[in-house]
Structure 1
Amino acid sequence: MMSFAQWGNALYFGKKSYGVIPRKRTFAGIACALMAVSIILMATLGFNQSIEFTGGSQFTVAGSAQTDQQAAYDALAGEGITSDVRVSALGADSIRVQTASLDTATSAAVRDALAQAYGVDSADVQSNSIGPAWGADVTKKALQSLVIFVALVTVIMTVYFRSWTMSCAAMIALAHDMLVTVAVFALTRVEVSPATVIGFLTILAYSLYDTVVVFDKVRELTRGVWDQKRFTFGELVNLAVNQTMVRSINTSIVAVLPVAAILFIGTWLLGSGTLTDISLALFVGMIAGAYSSIFVASPFLVILEERRARTREHTAAVEAARARGTESAEGTTPAAVRVAPVVPGHHLGQAAQPVRKNRRNR
Structure 2
Amino acid sequence: MTNRIDDAAPEDFSPEQEQQRLPQHSFFYRLYTGTGALDVIGHRKRWYAITGAIVAIAIVSMIVRGFTFGIDFEGGSRVQFPAEGVSTSKTEEVYRSALGHDPVSVQTVGVGGNATILIRSDALNTDQVSKLQGALFEAFHPKDKDGKADPAAISFSDVSETWGGEITKKALWALAAFLLAVTLYITIRYERDMALAALAALGFDLSVTAGVYSLIGFEVTPATVIGMLTILGFSLYDSVIVFDKVEENTKGILHVTRRTYAEQANLALNQTIMRSINTSLIGILPVLGLLVIAVWMLGVGTLKDLALVQLVGLIVGTYSSIFFATPLLVSIKERFGPVAAHTKKVLAKRSGAGRARVGSAAASRAGAATRGSDLVTNGVARDHGPRSQATGAPRPGARPSGKRQKRRH
Q: Would the TM-score normalized by the shorter structure come out above 0.5?
A: yes
* Alignment check: 8 A CA contact 1:52 1:135 kept: yes
Query: 1: CA distance between counterparts of 2:60 and 2:156?
Result: 37
1:87-123 deviation digits (Å, cap 9, x = unpaired): 2333454322112222345334423433333331333
Residue 174 of structure 1 aligns to a residue whose secondary structure is: helix
23, 35, 50: which one aligns with 2:70: 50
Mark the runs of 5 or more structure 2 residues left unpaired by the alignment.
1-23, 144-150, 355-391, 405-409
- Which amino acid counterpart does residue 247 of structure 1 have in structure 2? R
Alignment-derived partner of residue 152 in structure 1: 181
* Alignment check: 8 A CA contact 2:290 2:307 kept: yes
- Which amino acid counterpart does residue 335 of structure 1 have in structure 2? P
The TM-score with structure 2 as length reference comes to: 0.74
What is the CA distance between 1:251 and its match in structure 2? 0.7
The answer on 1:113 being equivalent to 2:172 is no
The answer on 1:247 being equivalent to 2:275 is yes
Query: 1: CA distance between counterparts of 2:152 and 2:340?
Result: 74
1:164-206 deviation digits (Å, cap 9, x = unpaired): 2211111111111112212221122222111112211100000
Q: Which has the higher relative contact order, 1 or 2, with Cα contacts under 8 A spaced 6 or more apart?
A: 2
* Alignment check: 8 A CA contact 2:110 2:116 kept: yes
The answer on 1:306 being equivalent to 2:334 is yes
Query: 1: CA distance between counterparts of 2:302 and 2:116?
Result: 11
36, 41, 66: which one aligns with 2:56: 36
- Which amino acid counterpart does residue 216 of structure 1 have in structure 2? D
Output aligned runs, 1:316-327, within 5 Å.
316-325=344-353
The aligned length equals 336
The answer on 1:75 being equivalent to 2:103 is no
152, 165, 168: which one aligns with 2:196: 168
Alignment-derived partner of residue 108 in structure 2: 89
Mark the runs of 5 or more structure 1 residues left unpaired by the alignment.
327-332, 347-362
What is the CA distance between 1:314 and its match in structure 2? 0.7
Identity %: 36
Alignment-derived partner of residue 335 in structure 1: 394
The answer on 1:206 being equivalent to 2:226 is no
What is the CA distance between 1:5 and its match in structure 2? 9.1
Residue 335 of structure 2 aligns to a residue whose secondary structure is: coil
What is the CA distance between 1:240 and its match in structure 2? 0.3
Residue 106 of structure 2 aligns to a residue whose secondary structure is: strand
Output aligned runs, 1:287-306, within 5 Å.
287-306=315-334
* Alignment check: 8 A CA contact 1:34 1:180 kept: yes
80, 103, 108: which one aligns with 1:60: 80
Output aligned runs, 1:267-306, within 5 Å.
267-271=295-299, 273=301, 275-306=303-334
The TM-score with structure 1 as length reference comes to: 0.83
1:243-268 deviation digits (Å, cap 9, x = unpaired): 00111111111110111122234333
Query: 2: CA distance between counterparts of 1:335 and 1:321?
Result: 14
Query: 1: CA distance between counterparts of 2:312 and 2:128?
Result: 40
Query: 2: CA distance between counterparts of 1:82 and 1:308?
Result: 63
* Alignment check: 8 A CA contact 1:56 1:129 kept: yes
Query: 2: CA distance between counterparts of 1:215 and 1:341?
Result: 23
Q: Would the alpha carbon gap of residues 118 and 168 (structure 1) be closer, same or farther in structure 2, given more than 3 Å must change?
A: farther
Q: What is the root-mean-square deviation of aligned Cα atoms in Å?
A: 2.9
1:144-164 deviation digits (Å, cap 9, x = unpaired): 222332232222222221x22
Name the stretch that deviates more: 77-86 or 232-241. 77-86
Name the stretch that deviates more: 17-26 or 149-158. 149-158
* Alignment check: 8 A CA contact 2:201 2:324 kept: yes
What is the CA distance between 1:318 and its match in structure 2? 0.5
- Which amino acid counterpart does residue 324 of structure 1 have in structure 2? G
The answer on 1:238 being equivalent to 2:266 is yes
Q: Would the alpha carbon gap of residues 248 and 340 (structure 1) be closer, same or farther in structure 2, given more than 3 Å must change?
A: farther
* Alignment check: 8 A CA contact 2:30 2:37 kept: no
Alignment-derived partner of residue 38 in structure 2: 18
1:199-242 deviation digits (Å, cap 9, x = unpaired): 11100000000001011101111111111111111001100000
* Alignment check: 8 A CA contact 2:239 2:325 kept: yes
* Alignment check: 8 A CA contact 1:52 1:138 kept: no
Query: 2: CA distance between counterparts of 1:91 and 1:190?
Result: 21
Query: 1: CA distance between counterparts of 2:170 and 2:394?
Result: 54
Query: 2: CA distance between counterparts of 1:266 and 1:135?
Result: 22
* Alignment check: 8 A CA contact 2:291 2:308 kept: yes
Q: Would the alpha carbon gap of residues 82 and 341 (structure 1) be closer, same or farther in structure 2, given more than 3 Å must change?
A: farther
* Alignment check: 8 A CA contact 1:21 1:299 kept: yes
Alignment-derived partner of residue 359 in structure 1: none
* Alignment check: 8 A CA contact 1:61 1:115 kept: no
What is the CA distance between 1:9 and its match in structure 2? 5.7
- Which amino acid counterpart does residue 40 of structure 1 have in structure 2? V
Query: 2: CA distance between counterparts of 1:8 and 1:299?
Result: 18
Query: 1: CA distance between counterparts of 2:225 and 2:202?
Result: 15
Residue 325 of structure 1 aligns to a residue whose secondary structure is: helix
Q: Would the alpha carbon gap of residues 5 and 45 (structure 1) be closer, same or farther in structure 2, given more than 3 Å must change?
A: closer
* Alignment check: 8 A CA contact 2:92 2:103 kept: no
The structure with more radius of gyration: 2
1:7-33 deviation digits (Å, cap 9, x = unpaired): 45631xx3x331100011111121121
